[in-house]
Amino acid sequence: MSWDYQSPWWLPGGNLQTIYAAKVARHFKNTDTQWARERWATPDGDFIDVDWLHTPDAEKDAPLLVLFHGLEGSSHSHYAQAFAAEVQQRGWRLALPHFRGCSGELNLAPRAYHSGDHEEIAWMLSQFRLQHDGAMYAVGISLGGNALMRWAGEQGHAASGVIDGIASVCSPIDLTASGHAIDSGFNKRVYARMFLASMKPRALQKLHQFPGLFDPHALMRVDTLYGFDNVFTAPLHGFKDTDDYWQRASAKPGLASVRVPALVLNARNDPFIPADCLPTPRDVSDWVQLWQPATGGHVGFVAGAFPGHLADMPRAVVEWLKQASI
């Protein structure tokens, strides 16, 4: 199965396709998406908030889709709403676990979340598996997709005992290449600034919880994701520095070890992810399928006549997961 996506003529360029999808397109379709929140206690004394899509018509053993969000994402993100609409149409169930600190409430431990958090993915998927006996799939968006693919590479054949299929969407599986791309030129002025505007205040809340955790003056001086990761993300999660973090957390080197049906979807005009760093068939196992359309931006993939919609990508990804597990 393949997906022949082409962006609409009226929405040219990776930046417009990225920004329009996130800020404009989702508002054109009214949805009655409702979530029910469940709090899970983690083994280290912290918590994870899981939002379950309200699907009263879904059978108990209907397939479950677990959606891992991207950097600073949540169940309010545009892609979460788009996948929710697709799942509702199919009569499936959907759960979105929030990475620590992303559910609207500060987490308790002296840590946050990061792009290679495959141990966290492993624990969350194991909890979903304990609750659900039917078919189970997982999709990771951007950061969440890198962590998911990192997990699959670590697990090898064992992953098939937990999940029936996985997909990453616009994930920076080469974190070094993507990090430097976000930190330069237009991307730095727009996207890096946007991310830092929410990441810095949250980091300072964490410092208030744990005085001395990092240097607040160093944090306030940073204007790049590289600098933020050097002060906050890397040291809090056991990495020497940003370079060590980006190298060890990247999913790309592990794609050859994946042994569960896996889809890796990346637009070649994604402003965050240089096309020349994307995996080729030589980089992946036979279990991995690569979709690399020429357009789509970063988690964009707007389709149809103006004003467009976001339904095509979730439909194609979910259908691939269903077909790949047959």
Per-residue pLDDT tens over the stretch 24-76: 876 555 456 899 999 999 999 999 999 999 998 888 889 999 999 999 999 99
Does 273 share its domain with 239?
Answer: no
- What does pTM read for this prediction? 0.97
How confident is the model at residue 108, as a pLDDT? 97
**Assigned domain for 135 exists:** yes
State the CATH number of the domain containing residue 100: 3.40.50.1820
Q: Which residues are catalytic?
A: 142, 270, 298
How confident is the model at residue 125, as a pLDDT? 98
Q: Give CA angle at 277 (276, 281), nearest 5°.
A: 90
Would you say the C-alpha torsion 263, 268, 272, 278 has a positive or negative sign? positive
Does 57 share its domain with 101?
Answer: yes
Does 106 share its domain with 218?
Answer: no
Does 190 share its domain with 170?
Answer: no
**Assigned domain for 9 exists:** no
**Assigned domain for 3 exists:** no
How confident is the model at residue 27, as a pLDDT? 58
Per-residue pLDDT tens over the stretch 102-115: 999 999 999 999 99
Which of 225, 249, 273 delimits the end of a domain? 249
**Assigned domain for 142 exists:** yes
Which of 193, 219, 249 delimits the end of a domain? 249
**Assigned domain for 5 exists:** no
Strands of the sheet containing 262-265, edge to edge, are 35-41, 47-53, 93-97, 64-68, 136-141, 165-169, 262-265, 288-291
H-run or E-run covering 140: strand 136-141
41 forms beta bridges with 47
Q: How many domains does the chain have?
A: 2
Q: Mean of the per-residue pLDDT values for the chain? A: 95
Does 40 share its domain with 78?
Answer: yes
**Assigned domain for 184 exists:** yes
**Assigned domain for 4 exists:** no
Instruction: Evaluate whether 96 touches 69 at the Cβ level (below 8 Å).
Output: yes
**Assigned domain for 6 exists:** no
Does 196 share its domain with 180?
Answer: yes
Does 76 share its domain with 216?
Answer: no
How confident is the model at residue 33, as a pLDDT? 84
Instruction: Evaluate whether 97 touches 110 at the Cβ level (below 8 Å).
Output: no
How confident is the model at residue 42, as a pLDDT? 98
Judge residue 237's burial from the number of C-beta atoms within 10 Å of its C-beta, 0-12 exposed, 13-18 middle, 19 or more buried: middle
Q: Buried b vs exposed e over 175-190: b needs ≥16 C-beta within 10 Å? A: bbbbbbbbbeeebbee
Per-residue pLDDT tens over the stretch 218-272: 999 999 999 999 999 999 999 999 999 999 999 999 999 999 999 999 999 999 9
Does 80 share its domain with 223?
Answer: no
What is the extent of the structural domain holding 71?
14-174+250-324
In this predicted structure, the answer to whether residue 181 has a pLDDT above a threshold of 70 is yes
Q: Give 189's DSSP letter.
A: I
Does 161 share its domain with 290?
Answer: yes
Does 119 share its domain with 199?
Answer: no
Does 75 share its domain with 190?
Answer: no
Which of 211, 233, 249 delimits the end of a domain? 249
Does 179 share its domain with 272?
Answer: no
* CA-based radius of gyration for the chain: 19
How confident is the model at residue 145, as a pLDDT? 98
How confident is the model at residue 29, as a pLDDT? 55
How confident is the model at residue 17, as a pLDDT? 97
